[in-house]
Amino acid sequence: MSPLTDRDEGRHEKTRDRYWRESYYFNFVDDRAGIYGFTTIGWRVNESEVDGLLMVIRGRSLWFAYPAVNLKFKEPWESFELPERARVRRLRYEMIEPFRRWRLCLEGRRNSMDLNFLCFTPAYDYNTETHSLPKKVAQEHYEQSGRVQGVLRMRGKEITIDGTGQRDHSWGIRDWGGVEQWRWITAQFGEHFSFNVFSVHDQGKEHIGGFVFDGKDNARIVESTIHLEMMADGQSPKSAELELVDERGRRHHISARVFHVIPLRRHQAFIKECFARFYYKDLEGCGVVERLHRIQSGVEKLRYIGTAASYGLRNLLG
């Protein structure tokens, strides 16, 4: 594979596959302020739709949500300029410097966001060494950890953010319901240690990718054991135990305790975006445990719909 260049921060050529998609994703955590969130913009160009989403947790409850999803997108992809036009209605991303700095904005008088994402790790390209991900999960994919700073003005309050986060940029076939399950787990322990691991189960085979950052550079993960303890619903992670081995032979035992679960759905798959506290040696960090699994039955579908409805009522109306 060719190494990443600044052009990779922009648009890529699509295929004709129905589920071809290009997307940007950023999350952010600030334990001091008690703020945790994520935002994403993704173009499903062959389905003629674009999605933009921002979710912000304050403490242990959903504080703010901006869903601009399933919107019509009819522009010719071949002439669509990215990242210059990374925008869905009021949500927009601005690249200040490739692989270095991005600005994340939600425009509005009452509710707004203005965050700077400052990358402190090199970009980890999942395809540098080998195709570690199956084609169904947007195989072309890179990630970075960073510092997140800025201001949120929401629900009549202004909160200054000074925390960390993770970003990714992916393109290719994103068939959420086409794989059995995945676990995507990432956390930062300040600017001197962070990690990202992606485990995908497809056709009875596990695909593993990711990196460990030691304050100097990235080391590829070559082995991983991930154990999730589930909540009473059998779907939502409660805790995680990870054993990671990097390409330099170093072993890393990391544990996590989930404190907030956001239920999402796409195609025939359930996604649980879980914010968690992480523990590594004498360090404590924060990040995300994401679990996707395929819908197996009508009963399971109804149970998940009930969980999502309960989450909405509890957080948005409560």
The domain total for the chain is: 1
Residue 130 in this model has a pLDDT that exceeds 90: no
pLDDT band at residue 253 under the 50/70/90 scheme: very high
Residue 203 confidence class, pLDDT cut points 50, 70, 90 = confident
Is residue 193 in a domain? Answer: yes
Q: Which of 224, 214, 218 is nearest to 283 (CA)?
A: 214
pLDDT at 274: 97
What was the pLDDT predicted at 176? 82
Domain assignment present for residue 208? The answer is yes
Q: Is residue 4 part of a domain?
A: no
> Is the pLDDT assigned to residue 137 strictly greater than 80?
no
Mean of pLDDT values over 119-133: 83
For the record, the structure tokens of 134 come out as 């199956």
With bands split at pLDDT 50, 70 and 90, how would you rate the model's confidence at 147? Answer: very high
Q: Residue 235 falls within a domain, yes or no?
A: yes
Residue count (the chain): 318
- The sign one gets for the Cα dihedral 135, 82, 92, 27 is positive
Task: Give the list of residues 6+ apart from residue 7 with CB closer than 8 angstroms, or none.
Answer: none
Q: Cβ distance 260 to 273 under 8 Å?
A: no
Q: How confident is the model at residue 317 (pLDDT cuts 50, 70, 90)?
A: very low
pLDDT in the model for residue 146: 98
Q: What integer pLDDT is reported at residue 302 of this predicted model?
A: 64
Would you say residue 8 lies in a domain? Answer: no
Average pLDDT over residues 168-182: 89
Cα 70 to Cα 267: distance, rounded to the nearest angstrom:
12
Is residue 14 included in any domain, yes or no?
no
What is the pLDDT, as a whole number, of residue 305? Answer: 61
Q: For residue 245, is it within any domain?
A: yes
Residues in contact with 172: Cβ distance below 8 Å, sequence separation at least 6, in sequence order: 20, 21, 135, 138, 139, 140, 141
Mean pLDDT computed over every residue of the chain: 91
pLDDT at 299: 64
Bridge pairing between strands 101-106 and 91-97: antiparallel
Place of tokens 């390409």: 247
Cα–Cα distance, 220 to 196 (Å, whole number): 10
Domain membership of residue 31 as a residue range: 20-317
The CATH code of the domain that includes 121 is: 2.40.370.10
Q: Looking at residues 112-137, what average pLDDT do you find?
A: 86
Average pLDDT over residues 138-156: 94
Residue 60: what residue type? Answer: R
pLDDT of residue 96: 98
Angstrom distance (rounded) from CA 274 to CA 287 = 8
Element housing 23 (H / E): strand 20-30
Is residue 117 included in any domain, yes or no? yes
